[in-house]
Structure 1
């Protein structure tokens, strides 16, 4: 029969926070990850940041060219939607770790991804306007 102190130690390791907190001692997406390692915590921050960026880029980019077959266009849009929604749920679960660093990485990733997507869209629109005005 296990001792009472051993059960207490195991319970302390599995307590989840219910408010934002700072620190590298978080569980993000997978059990024992980043496991109290600063390097793995930084990797988790980078991972969440790029997932959030990818969500915004995939959400705001036109992916189909005019004249694309409806079947092919539907399959492409469905595939992109599948990845986007998967990324959305992964970021949501990461933020539910209640770690402030993960939360900030997600918000900054979403913001920068939105900026990149809109910047590219405006650049394409301006290029098309310049091309059509010279005719």
Structure 2
């Protein structure tokens, strides 16, 4: 039996779903999970996407993985070399990279807010592999680099 709580001030209804989590519904019966759940029937980033087809869900997971991977790649990129580019140009490149990194990171965050367990794992895997390839010491071409040396154009992201 579902327990419904009607909140007339916001037009939302809360109820316990069959998978044990809380969901929110507006009067149009669109459901939004409020706890993590597993399954391919979800909505990620855009209305109606990925829909109910498993193939589209897998594509959505790949997209979230790639977005998280790109955030790490941009975070550890080195496009400018000291002394080779005018300061204003270098500043513009850094600003554009920062805007791109933040925008992609917000897309990943919004995807995770679907509360789908697969999306969460895809995002963590993308960030992990991206850091492993771009940020860790495993593929550092110059292991004798001084720690204070510049390793990327952008400052590290902080939570």
TM-score by length of 2: 0.69
Tell me how far 1:96 sits from its aligned partner.
0.1
1:57 matched to 2:73: yes
Count of aligned pairs between the two proteins: 120
8 Å CA contact 1:61, 1:121 repeated in 2: no
Within 5 Å, give how 1:27-106 maps onto structure 2: 27-67=43-83, 68-106=85-123
Give the unaligned 5+ runs of structure 1: 1-7, 130-135
Tell me how far 1:69 sits from its aligned partner.
1.0
Q: CA-to-partner distance for each residue in 1:53-93, whole Å, 9 max, x for gaps?
A: 11011112233112121011011111111111110110000
Give 1:18's aligned residue: 34
Structure having the larger proportion of residues in helix: 1
Structure having the larger proportion of residues in strand: 2
Q: Cα–Cα, structure 1 residues 121 and 82, in superposed 2: closer, same or farther, change >3 Å?
A: farther
Extract structure 1 runs of 4+ deviating beyond 2 A: 118-124, 126-129
Give 2:22's aligned residue: none
